[in-house]
Structure 1
C-alpha cells in the first residue's frame, strides 16, 4: 500500500500547497481510493501514477469546500479517462444533493454506475464498507459541521508457507500449495481437510490506516487510530494556538502528536496546514510534534509514503 498526498493545505489553495485530498493505493491487482477531493484534485493526479479509470471508491470526510469542490470535475473526467467500472462515494448527508445538482446545472454525465451513500450524521459506523481485502469503519469527529474520520483495516494473511511440512504430509507443490498460502482450506481426494493454519508460520496482521477529517481533540480520534500503522491527522496550527484551533474545529501539531501517542499508532502524518506556514517552516512543525511522538512527518503536496505490512506474526509487537 502507498499513500499519496494530493493536497495538504487548509481553507484555500496557496502557491506551495493545494487543499485537501489523499489517495490510498491498494495492493495489486486492486486500484486506489480517494479521501476528500478539494479543488484541483484531478490536476494533482496528473503528476502521479494513478489513473482515474482505476479509482474504486471515494470517501468524503465533510462538506466544506476545501474538501469537496474538486469532486464534480473529477467524476466527470473519470469517464473521459476510460472509467467504466462502478464507483461508490461515501460521505455525510448532503453529498448526494451536491453532486446531483451540480451535474444537473452543468449538464455533466458519466458513463459508469455511480452510487452515493450518505452516512448518518453523528453515527459510529462499524464495517459500513467491506470486501474480501478491506473493511472501513467511521466515527464522527469534533468540527463545525458533520465530519467523519475513517479507519481502513486490511485482512490478515497467512504467514510463511511451511512447504517441507506439506511435503512430509505427502503433498506435492502446485495448486494445493497456492490455495493454502492464500489462506484457503483444501479438501484432499481422501476427504481430509488441510487447513492453512496448520501449514503456515503464524498470521501476518493486516495494515490499519486512520484518515481523519478536520477535528478538534475528541475520543473518537483514539478509537479510529488505535494501533494504526499510519495515522493521518490534521495539524492546522502550531503549538500554542490551541484556543484559535478549537474555535474553528481544528487541532495543533502537539495535539496531533498526543493523539498518535495515546492511540499507540506506529506513524503519524500531519497535514491540513494553515496558509500562514510555508513549506520551509514545516520542519519546525515537525519538531514540535517529535518532542511528543518521534515517528512523525509533515506531508507535502505530491509526497508519497509506503505502508508496508508488518513482518511480525500475530501476538508479537511490530518490529520485534
Structure 2
C-alpha cells in the first residue's frame, strides 16, 4: 500500500508545498484513491507515475477550498483522457453540498463528462461504504465546516496453498490442486469430502489507515486508532504558535495529535497540512519558523514511527505494518 503526498500546505501553496491532496495506491486493486484535491493537484500528478485514467475513488474530507478547488479541473482533464472500460467509472464521496457545487460549475462552464460519475454525499454522522472489497468509513471531526476522516480497511490476503498438507492427506498432485487453491469443497474419488481451506495457510490481515481532514479535536479519532496501522493527520501549528493566534482557527497542533496517538497502540503517524509560516528549510525567510519545531513537539509525545510529509514523498506501508519512506521529495 503506497501513499504519495501531492500537497502538504495548509490554506495556501508555498514555493515548496502545494495545498492538500494525497494519493493512495492499494495493493490488491489497480484503481487508486485520491483523498482531497486542492488547486493544482492535476499539475502535481504530471510529476508522478499515477494516471488520472486509473483514478477510481475520490474522498473529499471537507469543502474548504484548499481541499477541493482542484476537483473541477481534474474531472475535466479526465474527461479528455482515453479511458479503458474497466477504469471508466469514478466514485466521489464527500460532505453535503459537494454535488451542488460541482453541478453549478459544470453547468456554468459547460463541462460534460464522458464517464459515469457517482457522487455520494455523507450524512453528518458519516457512514460506511465498500469499494473493491475495501471498507471505507467516514468519521465526523470538529472544524468550522463539516469535516471527516476516512478509515480505509483493506481485505485480508488469502493464505498460500500448502502442497505438503494435501500430500500428507494422500491427495495426489494434479488438476484438483487448482480447485483446492481456490478453497473449493470437493468430493474425491475415494469418497472423501475435503475443503480447500484446510490446505491453505492462515490469511494475512489487511491494513487499516485513517486519513483525517481538518480537525480541532484529534481525540475524536482515539476509539478508531486501537486497531489502526497508520494515521495521517494535520498538524497545522505548534502549541507555541497556536496559543498566540488572535482567532480560533479550529486546527490541530503537533502536540495534540501526537499525544492522542501516544495513548493508543497505533505504530505509525504521518503529519501534514503545515501552516506556511513553517518552512521546509530552516531560516529560508526572515519571518519563517522551522518545520523542525513541529517534529520536535510531536516526538516529545509519540515514540512510534513518525514522519512529516513533504510534497511528492511516497510512503510504503508493508504487509507487516512497517512504514517506510521509499521515494523522498523531488
Query: Is the structural similarity TM-score above 0.5?
Result: yes
Q: Is the 8 A contact 1:157 1:204 kept in 2?
A: yes
2:121 to 99, 118, 121: 118
User: Are 1:287 and 2:296 matched, yes or no?
Assistant: yes
The CA deviation at 1:173 is: 5.2
Deviation, structure 1 residue 101: 0.6
Deviation at 1:238, TM superposition (A): 1.4
The Cα shift of 1:175 comes to: 6.5
Between structure 1 and structure 2, the one with the greater Rg is: 2
Residue pairs, 1:119-198, within 5 angstroms: 119-121=122-124, 123-125=125-127, 128-172=128-172, 177=177, 184-189=183-188, 190=191, 192-196=193-197, 198=198
Give CA-to-partner distance per residue, 1:107-164, whole Å, 9 cap, x none: 111110001110012x042xx2214531011110010000010100111223343220
Residue 25 of structure 1 pairs with residue 4 of structure 2: no
- C-alpha separation between the residues in 2 aligned to 1:191 and 1:71? 58
The equivalences for 1:273-312 within 5 A come to 273-280=274-281, 281-294=290-303, 295-310=305-320
Residue 206 of structure 1 corresponds to which residue in structure 2? 206
Q: Normalising to structure 1: TM-score of the pair?
A: 0.89
2: distance between equivalents of 1:132 and 1:186?
A: 25
**Deviation digits for residues 64-87 of structure 1, max 9, x if unmatched?**
000000000001111222236111
Q: How many residues align?
A: 307
RMSD: 2.3
Could you tell me which runs of 5 or more consecutive residues in structure 1 were left unpaired when the two chains were aligned: 313-320
Judged with a 3 Å threshold, the aligned counterparts in structure 2 of structure 1 residues 101 and 185 are, in CA distance, closer, same or farther, namely: same
Q: Secondary structure at the match of 1:5?
A: strand
8 Å contact 1:238–1:285 — kept in the other structure?
Answer: yes
- 2:263 aligned partner: 262
| Alpha-carbon distance, 1:304 to partner | 0.4
Partner Cα separation in structure 1 for residue 238 and residue 321 of structure 2: 35
- Relative to structure 1, the CA distance from residue 61 to residue 191 in structure 2 (aligned partners, 3 Å threshold; closer, same or farther) is farther
Match of 2:11 in 1: 11
| CA distance in 2 between partners of 1:193 and 1:137 (Å) | 37
* Structure-2 change in CA distance of 1:27 and 1:246 (3 Å): farther
Instruction: Give the TM-score normalised by structure 2.
Output: 0.86
Instruction: Output the CA distance in 2 between the equivalents of 1:64 and 1:173.
Output: 60
Contiguous gaps of at least 5 residues in structure 2: 282-289, 323-330
Q: What is residue 254 of structure 2 aligned with on the other side?
A: 253
Distance 1:186 1:53, change over 3 A: farther
Aligned to 2:227: 227
